[in-house]
Amino acid sequence: MIRLEKLKTLGKKTLLRKTVLLLRQMELDEASGIFPDTDYLAGLAELVENVTGDTGALNRACENLKTTLREGDPRRLARSIYLLRSVLQEYLGVSAGDWDFYHGDSAKLDASRRIILPWRVYLDDLRSPFNVGSIFRTADSFGVEKILISPLTADPLHRRAVRTAMGCTETLAWETARPETLLKAPGVFALELGGVPLEEFSFPPAGTMIIGSEELGVGPEALEAADKSLGRVSIPMQGTKGSLNVSVAFGIVMHAWWSSLNIKKPRNLRPRS
């Protein structure tokens, strides 16, 4: 790690950019159980204050970090480091991206811990790898047995899908399937407009939910399978847009399906970045 004395010899902009990188590395270390050097951190915050002379948000972030270090509260440390890095990036005019978030080691996910329910999800021509990955992550959380992928759905192994799924493309079984295969499956229903309101729909103990394309909804073949089985379910809305992102809508319906079974002792579903 670069010495504070060396940092002091750098130009202001270079120093602050390097500080962002140092803080980022400390966040990763702290998340991995490596406690950062508190004296170094305090000196880094002091250096940022002196170099910028800022009396606003940046100054408050520096003081917040120094207070956290003095109080020795490890629970607040990661947030204090993150706050300073975020404010410093804003000061420099650097926008954050989703790659800035620490996702942990997805390879360490233990698939044996999953509670698997007799539920399947059919993705009917979803184009966005982000939506596909998000659906995998939600499906894993609610015990989906398998995800079926239509031939035109984005590849779950696309790098953007893998990033968003956070390892769940490895823990959740999936395969490619054509929509006509749904005609032989029991308990098929589609998330689509014009269906039974969510709170009135009778979810099956076992079955397959169809999720349609972001723009076109569920295709005619898949919709035929749903209409011949359990039909359609819709989420009542009153906003001006009248629609939701497909992965968000999926999460709402999955929770309703999961709740309909009155499962006891649910897993901790705390949202994580």
Sheet strand arrangement including 231-234: 173-176, 146-149, 119-123, 207-211, 188-197, 231-234
pLDDT in tens, the chain (273 residues): 788 999 999 999 899 989 998 998 888 777 777 888 889 999 999 999 999 988 899 999 999 999 999 888 777 888 899 899 989 988 888 765 544 444 444 445 666 677 889 999 999 999 999 999 999 999 999 999 999 999 999 999 998 899 889 888 888 999 999 999 999 999 999 999 889 999 999 999 999 999 999 888 999 999 999 999 999 999 998 877 767 899 999 999 999 999 988 765 444 444 444
What is the number of other CB atoms lying within 10 angstroms of the CB of residue 102?
A: 13
Residues 6 or more apart whose Cβ sits within 8 Å of residue 37? 1
| CA within 13 Å, CB half, 157 | 5
Task: State residue 114's pLDDT score.
Answer: 74
* Cα(225)–Cα(118) distance, integer angstroms: 18
Task: Tell me the backbone φ, ψ of residue 197, rounded to 5 degrees.
Answer: -55, 145
Task: State residue 264's pLDDT score.
Answer: 52
pLDDT digits (tens, 9 = 90+) for 76-122: 888 899 899 989 988 888 765 544 444 444 445 666 677 889 999 99
Task: State residue 95's pLDDT score.
Answer: 62
pLDDT digits (tens, 9 = 90+) for 89-101: 888 887 655 444 4
Task: State residue 104's pLDDT score.
Answer: 47
* Cα(92)–Cα(19) distance, integer angstroms: 11
| CA within 13 Å, CB half, 47 | 23
Domains of the chain, first to last: 4-100 (no CATH), 106-260 (3.40.1280.10)
Report whether 198 contacts 236 (CB < 8 A).
yes
